[in-house]
Amino acid sequence: MARARLSFTTFNLLNLNRPGLPLYKSSKPWTLEEYDAKIDYTARQLKTLRSDVYGFQELWHGDALVDVLSGAGMERAYTALVPPGHDGSRIVCAGAVKSEILIGDPEWIERFPDDFILKSGGDDEQTSEIAVSVSRFSRPVLHFRIKPVATSPEIHVFVCHFKSKAPTQVFREPWYDKPVHAPYAEAIGAGLSTIRRTAEATALRMILTRLMKGTNDPVVVLGDVNDGLLSNTLNILTGQPRYLMGFQTGGGDTDLYTAQTLQQYRSTRDVYYTHVFQNERESLDQILVSQEFYDNSRRRIWSFKDLVVQNDHLNFDAHRDLGSNDHGVIRATFEFNPLKAAAEDATG
């Protein structure tokens, strides 16, 4: 008897808005022809990957996602997760989920936890004090729940999009003095972007820890985290778990495991990249899973099957003409394969 399978995809939509509506100040609105190309390309990706769960970044308009699902022939089987009244004026994370496995209502988390704090007087006499006052996510984090197997616990899914590596533009700031700051504007801006991204990773980690600690709740994070596998951003999010563990001896209560690493254990060569900038190939987009999806975990419910990276389109820059996006599209698939002890714990 074949095991039940469950697949997740993370997909940065590259500013998917309705045609003619404004984007960033530095970006032209999509023409009708460009929009149609984007809808066609995105719909074809969804049909090719055939995931149960899609997490999207950079959605500007709810109707655009409806157009994608319709173009893919998925509008009846899937529920679009979009904030009410999402009319093209702001960017959010969104989702599309097989309706039969979705439970409850989605939520968009805008503010950091009330007990969030990044402040220190320094570890020693040589280290000066520091305080960071960021209080909300640049892009609201989507949170929803699914239950693909009736006898197994529901799964919490989070979709995130952290601040990019692009330097924050500081020339409009009231403190900016061009003769003084212009030579260092790029460095200052990059530092600000890094601090904001680090704060967002910390805030989401606090939310995840609160949910996961002392529980057996499976968790999946889909996101454009704008940082690589060995970055501090990923270290904060994942808790840096140990992978090379004996069978049924691993797993961490609040740890997250990257699908990228799980795939590396199945392959003799790593060609995972999801973004290209100045000829540098990086893995900015991640699928992270809790111990319930880690093969060698004592709490395993789902085992890793495979990972697919759609990134050939990154070899071409004509995204407006082709309708393509500027990030790789990642799908991870798991099989329902619980250990007996984990199944007994889950059902009480």
Tens digits of residue pLDDT in 43-70? 999 999 999 999 999 999 999 999 999 9
Nearest to 163 by CA among 220, 231, 117: 231
In the chain, the number of structural domains is 1
Length of the chain, in residues: 348
**The domain spanning residue 20 has which CATH number?**
3.60.10.10
Residue 346 buriedness (CB in 10 A; 0-12 / 13-18 / 19+): middle
Q: How far apart are CA 300 and CA 292, in angstroms?
A: 4
Contact 307, 330 (CB under 8 A): yes
**Residue 301, pLDDT above cutoff 80:** yes
pLDDT at residue 56 in the model:
98
Domain hosting 290: range is: 5-347
Question: Mean pLDDT across the stretch 194-218?
Answer: 96
Largest CA distance in the chain: 71
- Least confident range from 16-20, 159-163, 247-251, 284-288: namely 247-251
Provide the pLDDT confidence category of residue 328 given band limits of 50, 70 and 90: confident
Residue with tokens 């989605």: 106
Provide the pLDDT confidence category of residue 111 given band limits of 50, 70 and 90: very high
Chain centroid offset of residue 316 CA: 23
Provide the pLDDT confidence category of residue 134 given band limits of 50, 70 and 90: very high
**Average pLDDT of every residue of the chain:** 90
Q: What angle do CA 53, 105, 342 make, to 5 degrees?
A: 60
> For the residues of 155-192, what is the DSSP string, one character each?
EEEEEEEPPPSSPP--TTSTT--HHHHGGGHHHHHHHH
Instruction: Give the start-end residues of each E strand in 17-101.
Output: 53-61, 78-81, 87-98
> For the residues of 278-331, what is the DSSP string, one character each?
TTEEE--EEEEE-GGG-TTBTT-SEEEEEEEEE-GGGG---HHHH---SS-EEE
DSSP state of 60: E
